[in-house]
Structure 1
Amino acid sequence: MTPDPFDPPRAGRLSPHSAKPREDASFPAVPEQNFQVRRITLIALLVAAILLPCVYVAAMALSDLRTREADATDMTLRTVRVAEEHALKVFDMNETLDARIIDLTEGLDDDGIRAREAEIHEKLRTMGGGYPQVAAVSIFGGEGALLASSRYYPSPVLSIGMRDDFVGIRDGNAREQVSKVMTGHVAGEQVFNMGVERRAADGSFAGVVSVALRPSYFDAFYRELLGGSNSTPMIMTLVRTDGAVLAHFPRTPREAAAMASNSPFAEAVAQGRRAGVVRMRSNVDGDTLILAFRHVGAYPVYVLCGYRTSAIWAAWYRHLSVLILSMFTPSIALWCVIWLSLRRLGAEEEAWERWQAEASMRRSIESAYRQSRKMEALGTLVGSVAHDFNNLLMILSSNVQIVRRRGVGGLERELSAMERALKSGQSLTRQLLGVARKQPLRTETLLLEQWLPTCRELLRASLGAKVSLVIDPGAETWPTRVDVAELELALINIAVNARDAMPNGGRFTVRAANIVFRHEDGFPLTGDFVQLSLEDTGVGMAPDVLARAFEPLFTTKPKGMGTGLGLPQVFAFCESSGGLAAIDSAVGAGTSVRLYLPRAAAEAEITMPAQAGAVESSAPQGLRILLVEDNEEVAAGTEALLQMMGHQVTCVFNADTALRLFDDAHARRARTGEPLPFDLVLSDIHMPGKLNGIDLAEAVLAFDTKLPVILVTGYAEELDRARRVDARVLSKPFDIGLLEKLLETIQRDLAQAGSDPAEHPAQQ
């Protein structure tokens, strides 16, 4: 081969047809390139361009968050002081009002107050009516009975003798000077009461003067203080020292009546703190707050102002998004420039490496090309050798059968040895055809319901001790026609894969069931099938691995652990059997392999019905067989065996001659009505000439008088084509006993239909 001049490679260009390159010394010298230093420099720049903006944004974001929290804390402190002053003025005014009422009733007992109720009512109405926060002013006796009120005259009959605030004031509990929020008996609305004790002339407890305050008044003030909107990020609350809520803004539909007893605010009150700031989650409005609190004078009341942290975070996120957008937009452009520089550097390095390795790459390609041609030639050679070896086995097999049928004595030991050698030769041929991918399938009808249980030990050996095996052969599964050896190999391949997918143990389940595919289901197959499901509980397959599971030579196992031919063998076996294989799998969910094998029609035994008046025949007559075989010794042995079986044999050595015989016979039949001279055609497939055995079978079956045809071959691809012809197919070397049974079946068929000359003219 003349070497081509070297042409510097372009990016991605590599010619598989390049001629042998010149020696390496003839290539121009290429200066060394330190790509690693350049790559490290660019990567360092890229890392800096990423980290520095990120660090800056993180620092600015943290600073902004702390500033916002500090501003929120300061705002709550300022607001709570205003609310405290307001509450203090209200409570001081109420205390002054209570004192004036006590002065008004001084020296009067309960009966005296009732006697002057009209006068007192007017004065109470005048005192309390000028304050919007006051809902009612009432005077109660020593037993809690209502004596006078600013709202009603005459006063209704009612008593607060059992109410907490009345009992607390009577017993000297200072906290109950301010009651919880309630629906007032006198005011008739939501109020909380501020009461003081009345004493008799002797200093004993004489009753209570109570001023009912409206929580809505405080709510309105807090609304105005916080900006007049329910969407404000701040909250205001007026609470007793025990946490009971007196007023709150903004209101929520399901707010709690009291603050949680284990909150940071409750702990601060228990410690006696009069003012401060805590961070807590409020059970009143369900949000996390920065909460400032202050004690209102000497009253058992605190005023609280909280800032929602969710509002702080929302504002912080908005600011952060603007910061990120303004900071990273130019940074992304810089990243892209550096990334493109890295890719360009990679392309330069790849081109440089191709420049350096061009000679060795060309030699490798030429070597691989030659190896591929060798393997292709080897496959053809192996197929041819196997075919010729099959013919030799056929010669030996037929002659052994001839000797046995002639009953030659004293040779039993020698014949048995020859038969054992025949079996070894058949196994060797099968292996050779497997290497050449030309192995024909030896199909037989199989009932999985009976066969699967016999495979238990075989599968256990493949799965190992850690994996449990479950076999469910189903009930009344249909028979299927398969090559049993190939089916066993498929089960072993799947079991080995399942074992590798379950290194810590698991379960492997084999199930058989009948299934029918219809055209409208959209499945690539239609008809009756037996579904053989093999499921494991292993690690499963990723989608990219699952997509290539049936691809020849593809494997995910470590080098030396798998060939990548296991699942492809399963797929090829199912397709060769007329079915299909499918896989379902997901990572962590195990794998399910389903084999769909076509249903085999059960062959019923054909009996000869008795016919009235028919002449009894002792046995079917021998067949007139046209034997087509190009190997003279195979033809001679087969012809002798057929004659010993009682058949008449006409032998020709190629399909062209056989077809001419049929053409002549059909021409005579058309002229004279003479029947065809043959009952059966027994032909090899691979023969010299224009036609092979399959062409001959198609031509014979195309005549109006269809004759049974038996084809013999040793090639798998010929078997695939032969299955599409209405002919029986035997793979070499075939069993003589199987051929004899097949001929007996054809004899019975012809004898049974012998009275119908239109169907079997050869029997006329």
Structure 2
Amino acid sequence: MTADRSSSIDANAPDGRAAGARPDQALFPAVPEQNFAVRRMTLIALLVAAVVVPCVFVAAMAFSDLRTREADATDATLRTVRVAEEHALKVFDMNESLDARVVDLVQGLDDNGIREREAAIHEKLQTMGGGYPQVAAVSIFGHDGALLASSRFFPAPAVSIDQREDFVGIRDGQVLEQVSKVMVGHVAGEIVFNTGVARRADDGAFAGVVSVALRPSYFAAFYRELLGGNDSPMTMALTRSDAAVLARYPVGPTSKVEEPVRRNAYTEALAESRRAGVVRVRSTADGASLIVAFRRVGSYPAYVAVGYRTSAIWAAWYRHLSVLILSTFVPSIVLWCVIWVSLKRLGAEEEAWERWQAEASMRRSIESAYRQSRKMEALGNLVGSVAHDFNNLLMIVSANVQIVRRRGAASFDRELSAVERALKSGQSLTRQLLGVARKQPLRNETLDVERWLPGCRDLLRASLGAKVALVMDVGSGLWPMQVDVAELELALINIAVNARDAMPNGGRYTVRANNVSFRHEDGFPITGDFVQLSLEDTGVGMPPEVLSRAFEPLFTTKPKGMGTGLGLPQVFAFCERSGGLAAIDSAIGAGTTVRLYLPRATHAPEAERPAEPVAEEAGVPHGLRILLVEDNDEVAAGTEALLQMMGHEVTCAFNADAAMERFEAAHARQKDTGEPLPFDLVISDIHMPGKLNGIDLAERVQAFETKLPVILVTGYAEELERARHVDARVLSKPFDIALLDKFLQALQRDLAHPPAHPAG
């Protein structure tokens, strides 16, 4: 549309201003926009960091602490296993030395020779083995496994070990069996394991075995002292190279007898003949997970192993982790709460900011609206004064044209028609001026939009022209509207004409209607139920600078003589005075949409009643006696001449004061003599010089006992609003003479046929 659509209102603007229009910010200067989104994202990032960083820190510290504890546990097992290895090596070396001494003691003696010297040998064996707490017994066995002599018994009991693995192994030259498994010793009578060497005859043949029985309890006691008692997280064991347990601490419930060997990482390491290492296994005693360090005892087929319970590592780690979590997350939780409270306060601050912005915007809108109102008030006063005089001129011309037509001037019919067209244009212009200045009275009535709007199709087609296609999309269930139908028709015509000018090469013009409701929280400048009329064109659209002034009175972009700048201002003023709003959306190349929001009627429209036939009156009623009150001599003369041509008797008064004097005098005579009033009707202008105006006159005339009908004539909306409260008919200047004649004829019939009274 071109800009006789003159200004645009952004439908989303809280104050209903034209889109692109900037309010005067003299009293409410703009405040820098608060970037709440950035602040919120910063706080959220800080909150995430405050959560993630402590969690990562605790996880890293916990992982590092666990690895450190495992490393410390491994170091402790390695240090301890070295001590245990040295101890076991000394014990085994001592046993080897003891075996060698016993072998030297019986060197050259056969089994019988040993038996013959058993007493002396017993004493020497008792002397050699009795000073060592780990030694349970020192025994000499013959080539057939029979016991020949012992440090524990004399004489030696009849015992044979020819079926024992250690005896068989030593006899067969196997190294492993030089250290036996744990057993209940035949000679010692307690749980022991034996270390033995072979006796050789002079010819090198196998002559028997020298065996030293060692107590596992000795090793367990040493290990207990080394580990520091029962509270130690470590375990220790002495095993053969085949993983058979010789001694252990803590002592398990199955350690009194030979334990089965279970395959695990430790047994695999021994099978690989590794001299030392660290492995992870599960305890054969209680199934606990252990970090095991092991070392071979010299060249003997025995290993010492130290295990560290991982459950102890985890328990210590859990205790440290609890302290770490408390020391880390307690301050972090405080920080989280602070950031969370900051986010809450930011939300409250944003809400307060939005409320303040809305209030500031509303105040700026009120200030702008106040200035606009003052401007429109000044314009209205100016327009009202001009319109009053202009209406009088139009009234004079109209009355005289009617006089000429009634006197018969067929030769001047063309000229009179041109004058009448000019009169109508003048009346339309005056009406638009008064409408923009809020001086044009509204005659609101309830309108059924669904039935009325399709009937405007011909009116809109005539306004749009042949090049523009008209599309009407009227929804069902539309609410009735409370509007001035004539003003609404004029608004539709003004918008359609602008749309036609915006589409010189043709296009599409769409009319839509639907129901809308606005609540206070929607931020729309109006609230309640409305019928929305959307008028859309596919024209060239308007740039922002034109859009912002589209509703400004007397602003137009049309060529000189093509537009008055009153079309869209009349639309905006009409909608606003009706209790609604007008809004425009437009962009270059995207067409224009004008939306009219008109209030929903509180009651349904009345059904149309068929016109009642008027019975033809016999005879012509006599003329009326009319008191014409008009301060303009030419208007009074023209109106008087017309009324007289209609057959009425006219008396003129210059103003309401003079007319009131006539009425008071006539009423005084009526009281004194019973003489009837000299007038049947009063026709009065409203705006006149003197103390009284036309409305004052109507109120005083109707205050008398004999009430006369009154017709008031004016063009001021304010006066018409007051005149509605008076029992008088109101005509807007310049009024239609035919309408006045119709009213006068009805009044003549009423006077000629007064209502009949029932017979007494």
**Common fold by TM > 0.5:** no
User: Highest CA radius of gyration, 1 or 2?
Assistant: 2
Report the TM-score range of the alignment, normalised by the length of the smaller protein: 0.3 to 0.5
- Tell which has more relative contact order, 1 or 2 (C-alpha 8 A, sep 6+): 2
Q: TM-score, normalised by structure 2?
A: 0.43
